[in-house]
Amino acid sequence: MAAKIVHKIERPPKNLIKEFRRFATPQISDAMDRSGAMVSEIKPFFGNVKICGPAIPVREMVGNNLMCHKAIYVAEAGDVIVVDARGHKDTSVWGAIMCLAAKMRGIEGVVIDGAVRDSMQIKNMRFPIFARAVAPNGAQKNWPGHINVPIQCAGVQVKPGDIIVGDDDGVVVVPLEEAENTLSKVRVVAEIDRKMSEEIKRGKTTIDLLGIDERLKSLISFGVHVKK
């Protein structure tokens, strides 16, 4: 397999990135019909973290991190490197030295469908990294891969320039071609959340606000038994 590296990609406008940064991953997922989130194992190394930026997708062979190293220097400041490491959890493809190199270049963060190591150093560095697992075994650098081609990462397609948003809940992917429309929907979701919170503070219940009893009645009409 020959390596493929694409250096020039389309990125979303910076003002669009700034707007998406304002919202939580659950709100963004809700705006995309409750989709777009990576599998639940993809979590940050430390809490109170937020990343938002254009995707630099990387495809690696299992147990290999040659292209991960190259991606650090293909990516630009503000980008998020997203690695398809095939979900392999027993060999790390990223570590503290790579985090330091990425941090020095202004990389926004890294998302890996696989394992990383040097967890204590990374936590102390406070470099945002999301991964499936932690493992001490290091990777080989013997096989080529691809940079800036569409990949599958933790159950979601990621294309170059897609907007990656990560926080304590996990990671969501907003397709670049749907970003403007999704942002409009996210604003609506956030406003609904705000109004609902205010109503609850005034004494309303989620039963009333979400029409739970009406939903139960409709289920009963379809033969679902609800025991009181």
**Average pLDDT per 10 consecutive residues for the chain, totaling 228 residues:** 91 97 98 97 96 98 97 98 97 98 98 97 97 96 96 98 98 98 97 91 86 84 57
Report helix angle 66-74 to 96-104, nearest 10.
10
pLDDT of residue 217: 85
pLDDT of residue 220: 79
Cα–Cα distance for residue pair 22/81, rounded to 1 Å: 20
pLDDT of residue 212: 85
Radius of gyration of the chain (CA): 20
Encoding tokens for residue 221?
Answer: 């009409």
Domains of the chain: 4-174 (3.50.30.40), 184-221 (no CATH)
In order of 38, 45, 53, 150, the CA distances from 13 in angstroms are 24, 28, 10, 20
pTM for the whole thing? Answer: 0.92
Cα–Cα distance for residue pair 127/116, rounded to 1 Å: 13
- Residue type, position 136, single letter: P
Q: 């973290």: which residue's tokens?
A: 49
Identify which of 122, 60, 120 has the alpha carbon closest to the alpha carbon of residue 91.
60
pLDDT of residue 174: 98
